[in-house]
Amino acid sequence: MACSDAPRQQTGLQARSDSAADFSGHWELDYGQSDNTQERVNVLVRELRQQAERRSQSGQGPAGGLVINGNGYNNGESVSGLVRLTDMIARTALLEIDQDEDFIRVRREEDSDLTCEFYDDSLRQLETPFGSELCGWRDHQLVFRLQLPGGLSIQHVMTTGASRARLQLTTTVRTDQVSMPFTINRVYNRFLPGERDFRCEMTLTRGRVCTTGPR
Amino acid sequence: MGPLSADAQESQGAFLDVGLLVFDPGIPADKAARSRLGIFPEIRKSEAKYMPVILRDVLMQQAGWGAVRVLPELMDSPELLVTGEILHSDGQQLSLQIRAQDAAGVLWLDAVYEGLATPTDYTGSPQSDPFLQVYENIAADLQQVRERLGAARTSTIREIALLRYAAALAPEVFGDYLVVGESGEYMLQRLPARGDPMLERIIRLREQEYRFIDTVDEQYVNLSDAIAPAYLLWREYSAEQAVFVDDFEDRVLGRKSRARPGSFAALEQTYNTYRLSRIHAQDLDELALGFNNEVLPTSLEISGTVYKLSGTLENQYGEWRDILQQIFALETGLTPSP
């Protein structure tokens, strides 16, 4: 695993932003406000068809955007794969976010954490044998970009309003087998973990230990 | 130049006392570097207090040393001072920069000591440190230097230590008993007369200081005992993690996907591989949090006690210096320099 500094001009992201939002807290998925995946699929298919028609009309390619059971680019299996993967990545129902000036950790239920560091005012790019990760601010939005092997890339964009009551997480996935990315917007509502008479914390020798008393 | 007074000699004995300064945790000031190097600062700070206690225990098991004490900060002229910096510490590898210097300013050793451990080296017993060999190597090297010294040199080092201590407390009286050579080594210039009452007082004060320091040392031993179970688990888990990650990389990078490119199976495999690798890396963060939750309250409590004791000792020094200056003025009629 290695880290490197990524130049700002190439990424469009920056380590500091005057309008950086505060995402810290607990968030739960609002299914009603979030995208309906099937509707987004319909949009994708329609756009792929339109794109193919435009290409066909301009003599750049064959007619038909989505080729069911086809073997090539934009075939049904690839589009389905793109959609299913995006849906899988964006399924997280709960987020827990710790944020300070230098570090942000987004804990996602059933997935790895998204983390971002800005210790020396530069963007840190995490390189591993399995992919690379870059994150930074784009004005008030926090952007995470993952570049994975096999032409797969994933971008998460987090946005919140001034009231910090809601958080939008926009997940966009691209593969080199489909000519358009697929995007799902998820909306989360802030919630306060229940006020309880006990608190729990992780320990090494005794596992999770809960004690009574004020939080 | 003759030997110290009989009383002074009697109070010393034949063995060198060893002061082990709490190690430098080796935490870079740059937070980005800490993250890059995988250093968990709170764990390092605990290690910096834990490791000298292990070395102390190893030295105490070796014959031939006087009192071996862990010190919170540099005291005036211990007979042999051992300092250390943690260069690298995880469950698999320990690397320490160790420096030892006697009261005469002679450098005994300045070297890097390293050790490797595998998950099988973790026996689950707080009494068995997987890097014990590292501490044993340091102790062996110290012993080797000590054995070359001979009784006369050992005695001289002890005399110099006492006179440096005396000079720090009563510079008007003992300031010119030692000279410092160009290389920074202390040499005896002359010795106090037999039965010198001022030296007798100094020896009594030093004994009092040792009693203070023994209390501080006891706190470090308590801390070491308290954190040992969690610390050994942390190192064991982190060693297992490192082995798992290496195996995982070998397995995954050598694997060929049979799924068609672009298919959900292929995409899911790529994503899950990345996800799992990150989850394993992030598990260490969770373990570090678990360690901190468990150890920090004890560590803070004991550090507070050590701080109070050190502060008390510092005040005591000031009082001792004033009293000695007054006695000096009474005995000689001279006004001590401020």
Q: What is the pLDDT of residues A32-64, one digit of tens each?
A: 999 999 999 999 999 988 888 888 888 766 555
Please tell me which residue, B73 or B171, carries the higher pLDDT value.
B171
B122 inside domain: yes
As a whole number of angstroms, the distance between CA A161 and CA A190 comes to 12
Dihedral sign from CA coordinates of B281, B49, B64, B138: positive
Contact between chains at A85 and B282 (C-beta distance less than 8 A): no
Average pLDDT estimate for B312-322: 72
By CA distance, what is B32's nearest residue in A?
A: A119
A92 Cβ partners below 8 Å, 6+ apart? A29, A108, A109, A110, A111, A186
- B289: in domain: no
Identify which of B30, B267, B290 has the shortest CB distance to residue A152.
B267
CA B97 to chain centre: 11
Q: For B150-194, write each residue's pLDDT tens digit.
A: 899 999 999 999 999 888 888 888 889 999 998 889 999 988 888
The stretches of B62-150 forming alpha helices (DSSP H) are 132-149
pLDDT average, residue stretch A186-200: 80
* Residue bearing tokens 């809601």: A166
| Confidence label for B2 from pLDDT (cuts 50, 70 and 90) | very low
Looking up tokens 């920056």 gives A14
Asked if A89 has any chain B CB less than 8 Å from its own CB, the reply is yes
Chain B, nearest residue to A75 by Cα: B262
Q: Which of residues 99-128 of A touch B (CB under 8 A)?
A: 102, 111-113, 115, 117, 119-120, 122, 124, 128
Count of the separate structural domains present in chain B: 1
Band of the pLDDT at B283, cuts 50, 70, 90? confident
Confidence at residue B4, expressed as pLDDT on a 0 to 100 scale: 47
Q: State the best of B232, B253, B264, B296 to mutate against chain A, taking most chain A CBs within 10 Å.
A: B264
Q: Tell me the pLDDT band of A200, cut-offs 50, 70 and 90.
A: confident
For B82-90, what is the mean pLDDT? Answer: 95
- B148 occurs within a structural domain: yes
Q: What is the pLDDT of residues A1-40, one digit of tens each?
A: 556 665 555 778 888 888 889 999 999 999 999 999 999 9
pLDDT at A181: 96
- For helices A37-57 and A76-89, the axis angle rounded to 10 degrees is 140
User: Closest partner residue to A150 among B233, B264, B270, by Cβ?
Assistant: B270
* More confident: A97 or B318: A97
ipTM exceeding the 0.85 mark: yes
Q: Which amino acid would we find at residue B192? A: P
For residue A54, give how far its alpha carbon lies from the nearest alpha carbon of chain B (Å). Answer: 24
> Which pLDDT band holds residue B334 (cuts at 50, 70, 90)?
low
- The answer to the question of residue B260 being in a domain is no
Mean pLDDT over B4-27 rounds to 74
* Nearest chain A CA: its distance from B42 CA (Å): 14
CB contacts, 8 Å: A150 with chain B: 261, 266-267, 270
Q: What is the average pLDDT across A202-214?
A: 75
Residues 185-204 of A with CB under 8 A from B: 201-204
β B16-21/B65-71 pair status: parallel
Contacts of A24 (CB under 8 A, 6+ apart): A97, A98, A99
How distant is the Cα of A160 from the closest Cα of chain B, in angstroms? 25
Round the average pLDDT of chain A to a whole number and report it: 85
Per-residue pLDDT at B282: 86
Separation CA B235–CA B51 (nearest Å)? 13
Average pLDDT, integer, range B112-116: 97
**Total length of chain A:** 215
Residue A201's pLDDT is 78
Contact A115 B282 (CB under 8 A): yes
The partner residue sitting opposite A77, judged by closest CB among B30, B263, B268, is B263
Percent helix, strand and coil across chain B, each rounded to 5? 60, 15, 25
Q: What is the pLDDT of residue B12?
A: 47
Look at residue B269 and tell me if it is in a domain.
no
The answer to whether residue B282 sits within a structural domain is no
Task: Count how many residues are written for chain B.
Answer: 338
| SS3 (DSSP) at A124 | strand
- B261 close to A (CB below 8 A): yes
Identify the closest residue of chain B to A179 by CA–CA distance.
B262
Is this prediction's pTM over 0.80? Answer: no
Q: Contacts for B172-177 with beta carbons within 8 Å, 24 or more apart?
A: B172/B325, B172/B328, B172/B334, B172/B336, B172/B337, B173/B198, B173/B324, B173/B328, B174/B198, B174/B199, B174/B202
Contacts of B227 in chain A (CB under 8 A): none
Other Cβ atoms within 10 Å of B153 Cβ, number: 14
Cα(B206)–Cα(B192) distance, integer angstroms: 17
Are the CB atoms for B135 and B116 separated by under 8 Å? Answer: no
- Chain-chain contact of B35 with A149 (C-beta, under 8 angstroms): no
Q: How many beta-carbon pairs under 8 angstroms link A with B?
A: 112
Q: What is the mean pLDDT of chain B?
A: 85
Contact B290 A175 (CB under 8 A): no
Q: What pairing do the DSSP bridges indicate for beta strands A141-148 and A131-138?
A: antiparallel
Q: What is the rounded CA–CA span in Å between residue A45 and residue A42?
A: 5
Q: Does B9 touch chain A (CB under 8 A)?
A: no
Identify which has the larger pLDDT, B24 or B202. B24
Q: Does residue B337 have a pLDDT over 70?
A: no
Rounded to 5°, angle at Cα A143 from A138 and A144: 150
Check CB contact of B264 with chain A, cutoff 8 Å: yes
Distance CA B96, CA B117 (A): 15
Residue A72 contacts by C-beta under 8 Å, 6 or more apart in sequence?
Answer: none
Q: How many CB atoms lie within 10 A of CB B168?
A: 16
What pLDDT shows up at residue A65? 52
Which pLDDT band holds residue B317 (cuts at 50, 70, 90)?
low
N- to C-terminal Cα separation, chain B: 30
With residue B242 as reference, give the H or E element that holds it. Answer: helix B197-253
Q: Give me the domain span that covers residue B104.
A: 6-237+296-332
Q: Which residue has the higher pLDDT, B158 or B72?
A: B158
Residue B114 neighbours by CB distance under 10 Å: 15
What is residue B10's predicted lDDT score, i.e. its pLDDT? 44
Q: Does the pLDDT at position A167 exceed 70?
A: yes
A206 vs B3, higher pLDDT: A206
Q: Which residues contact A207 (CB under 8 A, 6 or more apart)?
A: none
3-state secondary structure of A110: coil
pLDDT class of B145 with cuts at 50, 70, 90: very high
Judge whether residue B1 has pLDDT over 50: no
Contact check, Cβ <8 Å, A81/B31: no
Q: Chain A closest CA to B232's CA: distance in Å? A: 10
pLDDT tens, position by position, B232-261? 888 888 888 888 888 887 887 777 778 888
Of the pLDDT bands very low, low, confident and very high (cuts 50, 70, 90), residue A132 is very high
Residue B113 within a domain: yes
Report CA B237 to chain centroid distance, whole Å: 25
Q: Token match 């490797």: residue?
A: B116
Q: How far is CA A176 from CA A35, B258, B317, B326, in A?
A: 24, 18, 74, 87
pLDDT of residue B5: 45
Instruction: With cut-offs at 50, 70 and 90, classify the pLDDT of residue A170.
Output: very high
pLDDT digits (tens, 9 = 90+) for B209-233: 888 888 888 888 988 888 888 888 8
Burial A95-118 (b: 16+ CB within 10 A, else e): bebebeeeebbbbbeebbbbbbbb
* B-interface mutation test, from A126, A130, A133, A200, most B Cβ less than 10 A away: A130
Report all structural domains of chain A as residue ranges with CATH numbers, in order of start: 2-6+18-192 (2.40.128.20)
Q: How many CA atoms lie within 13 A of B178 on its CB side?
A: 26
Q: Is the pLDDT of residue B7 over 50?
A: no
pLDDT of residue B3 exceeding 50, the answer is no
Least confident of A167-181, B113-127, B132-146: B113-127
Mean pLDDT, rounded, for A77-88: 95
Is residue B34 in a domain? yes
pLDDT of residue B187: 93
* pLDDT exceeds cutoff 70 at B116: yes
Give the pair of three-digit tokens for residue B332.
């000689």
Using pLDDT thresholds of 50, 70 and 90, give the confidence band for residue B21: very high
